[in-house]
Structure 1
Amino acid sequence: MEYGHDHPTRHILVVDDELSILHAVERELKGRRLGRYAFTVAGFTDPRQALVAAERQTFDAVISDFRMPGMDGLEFLKALAAIQPDCPRLVLSGQTDMDSLVRMVNETHIYRFIAKPWPAYMLQAALAQAIDYAETLAENRRLAEAARQRQLSELLPEPAAVEQLLIVDDDMGVLNSLARVLTHHSKSDGLFAAILAEQHGQPRRRTLAEDHISVQITPSPAYALQMAERVAFSCIIADYRMPEMNGIELLQRFAARQPDCSRILISGQIGEAELAQAIQQAHIFAFVEKPWSDFELKANIALALAQHRLQLENRWLAAFMRPEAEPAASGVFPG
């Protein structure tokens, strides 16, 4: 990684057998920066050439097509993982069935699937999530190893049994619809269970639709801030356009109360400048466009919960490693 004057630079490996896709990805990543990272892109239409490049250079993330002649995305990402095991892996594809996605999560440990064609903001946001997660995970491993050396790792608390989610939207129809999506089983829940298990070791039987998820809804941003004083939330989802307070301001104020709570912005209409503000000032984990895809919504939330747990675990480990301030040695992480 490198650091420029204003933005840290991250090096991205992109593999797709269609040259037009490579050019489209490069244009987006080298265009206007929506987040805090600048990107360089090494693009290849031949996965084997990409593997040669990975032997010579360390990449901060890789984006790979799934269906490619000669060597498909699954085979390529397995080979890449052997060379650079800590490089976050994202899959970009127009045709991928659910069984294949679950295989890719289980066998190549992909971080994210992005469907073609993708929204304009998607790649930069997804890469920022992946890079941030990889850095959080690296810090988690460092702290966990230090804790093991001090024989403290067995004192690490268990995660909360119930993850608390908060949804804020002035449209009650949207609130009820989102709550139904998150609390009812669907065919894709097996994939999200695999994501949760892969990201932070939760049992595979758990999905986003079972009783370990508690969803609370409110049309009032002011009431949401009051709730933040009483309940520890794992994730908040807020609409952008609300008459009482826009979603960016709400998420900024919510973050001041609960900095480890993952923040997701949802909207049917938002400009590039506003989205950049949400990323840079509210530090959102993801943006979901209305009308949303249930698949994309649940994928973002599964990843947000994984990030939330790692952040809490890192905070706990860091506090425990300080001799002047040791947290309680038992209990659970707040949910």
Structure 2
Amino acid sequence: MNTPDTKILFVDDEPQVLETISLIFRNWHFVTAVGAEAALKAISDDKFAVVVSDQRMPGMTGAELLKKVREIAPETIRIILTGYSDMDSIIEAINSGEVWRFINKPWDNQKLKATVKAAVDLYEVNRMLKEQQKTGRAVNAKQSNASTVLFIDKRADHLQKYQELFKDTYNVRVCETLPEALKIIESEPIAAVACDSSLASEEGADFLAAIKQRFPAVVTIFMSDSKDANEAIRLINEGQIFRYLVKPFPRQALINAVQEAVQKHSEIKVLPKEMISTAPRVISFSQMLADIRRRREEKKAY
């Protein structure tokens, strides 16, 4: 459960869905809103730790709503409930709304509650960090020139372009294989990783998910050749992907994504170590990656 100062806002255009959610969360502190306009009014009038919105609503999609929520209340954690795989909306939700999780309909009640509870916990951690920054206990880490960005791509000509594009702004590392990338990440501090789907979409997604578990302060960007809704949702839910770029994308889109990723890294790395969940070192990275792949295959079989 949560406290009165970490209220949750549930948004759906169907009152009966909100009634069901109200029963599931009956012992929690929450507010419901029928439709996006009612949700925006609620956000303007009150503070919420988490907003959970349906995706497909008349007038304004969940992705569009959460983009506005991010502008009004950037500290609020954002979750989308969806029964559809509208790729353009998913990409917008990732890149503009910075959605924290996608939950598929029909949902499992216990998993829904666990996800919302984790979102509330994240909100409280972020709030604590903000207080530390106000009192001067946290170090401002906005030092992009000292940040290292790693690009992973099978094509050497792409890697050369990335080096040319970012060499005056960041320390740029490049490699063509995932094992090479792991060696770099384990040997030096990396702020952001941009991985191309040329390494095989599923393998790249698995790798980024494992990286996020082992090195949670590393911020990840995925550059894809196709619009794969299931891939994008899995990258959000398992890999906490920060940006999802579909090729061909404008050069400025990549510049913006990397800049924002480095800034996000600077915000994460000043958290006290106990606030950052890291996979135990007793588990090897290869074992972690194998577990992620096994779970993916099990889901396929199911």
TM-score grouping bracket, smaller chain normalisation: 0.5 to 0.7
Per the normalisation by structure 2, the TM-score is 0.54
* 1:220 has 2:189 as partner: no
Residue of 139, 142, 152 corresponding to 2:125: 139
SS of structure 2 residue aligned to 1:295: helix
Post-superposition CA distance 1:19-49 (Å, at most 9, x none): xxxxxxxxxxxxxxxxxxxx977445xxxx9
Q: Which residue of 2 aligns with 1:262?
A: 219
Rounded Cα–Cα distance in structure 2 between residues aligned with 1:12 and 1:302: 32
Query: What is the CA RMSD across the aligned residues, in angstroms?
Result: 4.5
Q: Which residue of 2 aligns with 1:129?
A: 98
User: Unmatched 5+ residue regions in structure 1?
Assistant: 3-7, 14-38, 62-76, 90-117, 184-209, 320-335
Q: Which residue of 2 aligns with 1:190?
A: none
Question: Number of residues paired by the alignment?
Answer: 210
Rounded Cα–Cα distance in structure 2 between residues aligned with 1:318 and 1:303: 22
Contact 2:95 2:244 in 1 (8 A): no
Contact 2:133 2:139 in 1 (8 A): no
Per the normalisation by structure 1, the TM-score is 0.49
Residue of 240, 249, 271 corresponding to 2:206: 249
Structure 1 position 301, deviation (Å): 1.9
Residues 52 and 283 of structure 1: CA distance in aligned 2, closer, same or farther (over 3 Å): closer
Structure 1 position 170, deviation (Å): 0.6
Post-superposition CA distance 1:195-228 (Å, at most 9, x none): xxxxxxxxxxxxxxx44x1111111111001111
Rounded Cα–Cα distance in structure 2 between residues aligned with 1:135 and 1:309: 20
Residue of 147, 150, 166 corresponding to 1:182: 166
Contact 1:9 1:40 in 2 (8 A): no
SS of structure 2 residue aligned to 1:255: helix
Structure 1 position 229, deviation (Å): 1.4
Post-superposition CA distance 1:288-313 (Å, at most 9, x none): 11111222222222221222111111
Equivalent residues in 2 for 1:1-335, closer than 5 Å: 42-44=35-37, 54-56=43-45, 58=47, 119-126=88-95, 129=98, 139-143=125-129, 145=131, 153=136, 156=139, 161-183=145-167, 210-211=168-169, 213-242=170-199, 246-315=203-272
Rounded Cα–Cα distance in structure 1 between residues aligned with 2:40 and 2:234: 36
Contact 1:228 1:257 in 2 (8 A): no
Rounded Cα–Cα distance in structure 1 between residues aligned with 2:142 and 2:39: 39
Residues 40 and 178 of structure 1: CA distance in aligned 2, closer, same or farther (over 3 Å): farther
SS of structure 2 residue aligned to 1:121: helix
Residues 124 and 164 of structure 1: CA distance in aligned 2, closer, same or farther (over 3 Å): same
Structure 1 position 129, deviation (Å): 1.9
User: Unmatched 5+ residue regions in structure 2?
Assistant: 13-31, 52-67, 79-86, 102-118, 277-302
Residues 122 and 230 of structure 1: CA distance in aligned 2, closer, same or farther (over 3 Å): same
Q: Which residue of 2 aligns with 1:36?
A: none
Which letter does structure 2 place at the counterpart of 1:142? M
Which letter does structure 1 place at the counterpart of 2:180? Y
Q: Give the structure with the larger helix fraction.
A: 2
Residues 56 and 294 of structure 1: CA distance in aligned 2, closer, same or farther (over 3 Å): same
SS of structure 2 residue aligned to 1:246: helix
Post-superposition CA distance 1:253-285 (Å, at most 9, x none): 323442210011111125222222222222211
SS of structure 2 residue aligned to 1:237: strand
Rounded Cα–Cα distance in structure 2 between residues aligned with 1:53 and 1:248: 36
Rounded Cα–Cα distance in structure 1 between residues aligned with 2:123 and 2:152: 29
Contact 2:150 2:174 in 1 (8 A): yes
Identity %: 17
Structure 1 position 234, deviation (Å): 0.3
Structure 1 position 120, deviation (Å): 3.6
